[in-house]
Amino acid sequence: MGYHYSDSNDIDNFKPDTEFVETIVFLNDGLQLPLVKAGCQLGKFIGGGGTGTPAGFQIILDRVGYEPTLGWVRSEDDVVAVNNLTANPTAVQTFQHWHEKEQILTYLDPAALYGCAQANGHKIKVYQNDADDSGTKMDASSAVSLFHNKNCCYIDIRNDFNYSFNYYSQYVNSLELGFEQSGTEDFLVSSVDYYANWPLLRLLEKSVPAGSKSRILMKLPIHDVAGYNARYFLRSYTHKFLEKAEWTFFQELNYLDSAGAVRKDFCEEVFVEAWVSDDDFLGANYFSLKYGKVQVSELNDDIISRRNQYDLVFPLDMKNLIGDDILDDGDFKVSLYSSENAPIVLKNFLDISNEYYTQYIGIARDKYNTTFFSFPDRIGYESGRRLKFPFGIIQQGKYDNSAFLEEFEYTSGTESLGFLEVLPKRTLDSALVLKKVAKDFKGQLEEFLYYLNTAPAQDNKFAIDAKKFHALTLSNEEYDTVMALAASDFDQGYKIFLQPTSGDMPTRNFDGFAIGQSDLKLQGIEFNTTDDKVQSKEVLVEDTVTQEKSELNFYVNKT
* Range of weakest confidence among 159-168, 214-223, 249-258, 450-459: 450-459
pLDDT confidence band for 38 (50 / 70 / 90): low
pLDDT for 351: 59
Q: 401 and 529 share a domain?
A: yes
Q: 89 and 216 share a domain?
A: yes
Percent of the chain with pLDDT over 90: 34
Q: Please spell the DSSP secondary structure of 101-168, one letter per residue.
A: HGGGGGB--HHHHHHHHHHTT----EEE--TTS--EEE-HHHHHTTSTTTTEEEEEEE-TTSSBTTTT
Full strand arrangement of the beta sheet holding 250-253: 201-204, 152-158, 285-295, 230-236, 250-253
Q: What is the mean pLDDT of residues 218-227?
A: 74
**Does 50 fall in a domain?**
no
Q: What is the mean pLDDT of residues 285-303?
A: 76
- Gap between the Cα atoms of 235 and 162, Å rounded: 12
Asked whether residue 384 carries a pLDDT value surpassing 50, the answer given is no
Asked whether residue 463 carries a pLDDT value surpassing 80, the answer given is no
Q: Pairing between strand 444-453 and 432-441?
A: antiparallel
Residue type, 341: N
Strand partners, 266: 221
Residue type, 380: G
pLDDT confidence band for 545 (50 / 70 / 90): very low
* Other Cβ atoms within 10 Å of 17 Cβ, number: 12
Asked whether residue 559 carries a pLDDT value surpassing 50, the answer given is no
Asked whether residue 203 carries a pLDDT value surpassing 90, the answer given is yes
Q: How many domains does the chain have?
A: 2
pLDDT for 224: 59
Q: 392 and 532 share a domain?
A: yes
Q: 364 and 427 share a domain?
A: yes
Asked whether residue 275 carries a pLDDT value surpassing 90, the answer given is yes
Handedness of CA 342, 348, 352, 355 (dihedral sign): positive
Q: Please spell the DSSP secondary structure of 231-297, one letter per residue.
A: EEEEEESSSPPSS-TTTTTEEEEP-B-TTSPBP-SB---EEEEEEB-TTSBBPSEEEEEEEEEEESS
Asked whether residue 515 carries a pLDDT value surpassing 50, the answer given is yes
Q: What is the mean pLDDT of residues 35-61?
A: 70
Q: 254 and 348 share a domain?
A: no
Contact assessment for residue 303 and residue 169, using Cβ atoms and an 8 Å cutoff: yes
**Does 558 fall in a domain?**
no
pLDDT confidence band for 483 (50 / 70 / 90): very high
pLDDT for 300: 53
**Does 21 fall in a domain?**
no
**Does 142 fall in a domain?**
yes
**Does 51 fall in a domain?**
no
User: How many Cα atoms within 13 Å fall on the side-chain side of residue 168?
Assistant: 24
Residues 6 or more apart whose CB falls under 8 angstroms from that of 443 comprise: none
Q: 239 and 341 share a domain?
A: no
Q: Please spell the DSSP secondary structure of 321-355, one letter per residue.
A: TT--PPPPTT-EEEEEE-GGGSPPEE--SS--S-E
Contact assessment for residue 484 and residue 462, using Cβ atoms and an 8 Å cutoff: no
Q: What is the mean pLDDT of residues 75-87?
A: 86
**Residue predicted with more confidence, 424 or 35:** 424
Please give the mean pLDDT across all residues of the chain. 80
Residues 6 or more apart whose CB falls under 8 angstroms from that of 440 comprise: 446
Q: What is the pLDDT of residues 318-327, one digit of tens each?
A: 877 766 677 8
Q: Which domain holds residue 462?
A: 331-540
**Does 487 fall in a domain?**
yes
Cα distances (Å, whole numbers) of residue 19 to 25, 73, 548: 11, 11, 37
**Does 353 fall in a domain?**
yes
Question: Where are the strands (E) in 323-453, listed by range?
Answer: 332-337, 345-346, 355-365, 369-381, 397-399, 432-441, 444-453
Q: Please spell the DSSP secondary structure of 180-220, one letter per residue.
A: E-TT-S-EEEEEEETTSSSSSEEEES-B--SSSEEEEEEE-
Asked whether residue 25 carries a pLDDT value surpassing 60, the answer given is yes
- Gap between the Cα atoms of 465 and 557, Å rounded: 10
- Gap between the Cα atoms of 247 and 388, Å rounded: 10
Q: What is the mean pLDDT of residues 180-188?
A: 91
Q: 257 and 358 share a domain?
A: no
pLDDT for 506: 57
pLDDT for 462: 57
Q: 267 and 413 share a domain?
A: no
Handedness of CA 338, 217, 266, 164 (dihedral sign): negative
**Does 258 fall in a domain?**
yes
Q: What is the mean pLDDT of residues 326-354?
A: 80
- Gap between the Cα atoms of 558 and 124, Å rounded: 46
Q: 350 and 215 share a domain?
A: no
Q: 472 and 385 share a domain?
A: yes
Q: 521 and 456 share a domain?
A: yes
Residues 6 or more apart whose CB falls under 8 angstroms from that of 324 comprise: none
Q: 285 and 416 share a domain?
A: no
Q: What is the mean pLDDT of residues 252-262?
A: 77
Q: What is the mean pLDDT of residues 250-263?
A: 78
Q: What is the mean pLDDT of residues 116-133?
A: 77
pLDDT confidence band for 385 (50 / 70 / 90): very low
Q: What is the pLDDT of residues 411-436, one digit of tens each?
A: 666 667 788 888 887 776 567 788 88
